[in-house]
Amino acid sequence: MTVDDRLSATFGALADRTRRAILARLASGEASVTQLAEPFAMSMPAISKHLKVLERAGLIRRGREAQWRPCRLEAGPLQEIAGWIEHYRRFWEENFDRLDDYLQQLKKQPGGRNKETRHVRKQRRR
Amino acid sequence: MCANNAGVDRATESSRWDLVMTRTFDAPRDLVFKAWTDPKQVQQWWGPHGFTNPRCEVDARRGGAMRIDMRGPNGVVYPMQAVFEEVRQPERLVFVTRALDDKGNSMFEVRNTVTFVEHGGKTELTLEAQVIRATAVAPEYLKGMEAGWSQSLERLAAHVRSPRQRADN
């Protein structure tokens, strides 16, 4: 799997509500598949399938201990994702600041915006 | 009251792996919605501080495209494309954005859902972003952009703080 594919796989794995709940549970410590299945009205194979997706995305690791194979959270990819989200959030915060300024400007010049819009429409028709 | 509670619920539900942002704008909903769908208006505010949008096309209807070239304060152009999946005036916009590298390849795709709710002449806007795919260069790309706008903010701050010093330079 390439680095690009892995990042996409990580985002893909996080898109599901159940898988996010599983990760949230694992954030407070390792757990067995049975323990992870408890809060969900889901069959064990269904939970196992979710765990496989998480494992493939590098988000969890499963122990080799024979019987209960505890699941553990892998911090690396999650930190990468959190960092990415943080950059994207800051991008939108900037946009919102500018939108706020723009809307305040509009309010200061009543009618100005409508005139401008009409003018533009006329130009396009020509 | 209701609006505040809803905001808290959303904040609790979302984690650091999600992007859910809410901002209240002191303007009626029709005005805010128009600012998102009229290309002439989008051009005025889109992008971080210090950025301009030499190209700004917005075809706000289902299947319509949005093409914005953002030009950073350092002169670097960041092209962005999007397709509208849903346009429900004046309450909801869903669009998938793609940021392109210099070869025109998509570096990341994000589905953005924007909802507009009016409360007494003000508009509560919520943005929810779901990352569909991202390549390894995507974080670097955003970091580069951020460096651009941080610089412009620093210049702005310096400008506001000490106009005399600026005159001396």
What is the pLDDT, as a whole number, of residue A64?
A: 79
**Could you tell me which residues are beta bridge partners of residue B70?**
B78
Q: Report the range of poorest mean pLDDT among A32-41, A94-103, B39-48.
A: A32-41
Using 50, 70 and 90 to split pLDDT, how confident is the model at A19?
very high
B112-126 mean pLDDT? 96
Read off φ and ψ for residue B82, nearest 5 degrees: -150, 160
CATH of A3-73, picked from 1.10.10.10, 1.10.3720.10, 1.25.40.10, 3.10.20.30, is 1.10.10.10
CA distance A67 to chain B (A): 32
Which of A30-39, B12-21, B48-57 comes out lowest in average pLDDT?
B12-21
Percent of chain B with pLDDT over 90: 51
What is the value of pTM for the model shown?
Answer: 0.75
ipTM (interface pTM): 0.80
- Chain B residues touching residue A106 (CB < 8 angstroms): 27, 31, 35
How many structural domains compose chain B? 1
| B101 against B89, higher pLDDT | B89
Residues of B with CB below 8 A from A96's CB?
A: 21, 23, 125
Count of A-B CB contacts under 8 Å: 106
| CATH code for the domain in which residue B56 is found | 3.30.530.20
| Cβ contact B84:B63 at 8 Å | yes
Residue extents of the structural domains in chain A: 3-73, 77-125
Nearest beta carbon to residue B135 from set A7, A96, A117: A7
Contact A11 B135 (CB under 8 A): no
> pLDDT digits over B137-148, tens only?
777 788 778 877
Contact A4, B107 (CB under 8 A): no
Do A82 and B16 lie within an 8 Å CB cutoff?
yes
Domain containing B153: what range? 2-168
Name, in order, each residue with C-beta under 8 angstroms of A81's C-beta and a sequence gap of 6 or more.
A10, A11, A14, B17
Are the beta carbons of A92 and B110 separated by less than 8 Å? Answer: no
Q: Which two tokens stand for residue B120?
A: 């007494």
Residue B25 to residue B124: CA distance in whole angstroms = 6
- The answer to whether the CB atoms of B35 and A103 lie below 8 A apart is yes
pLDDT tens for B52-75 read 999 999 999 999 999 999 999 889
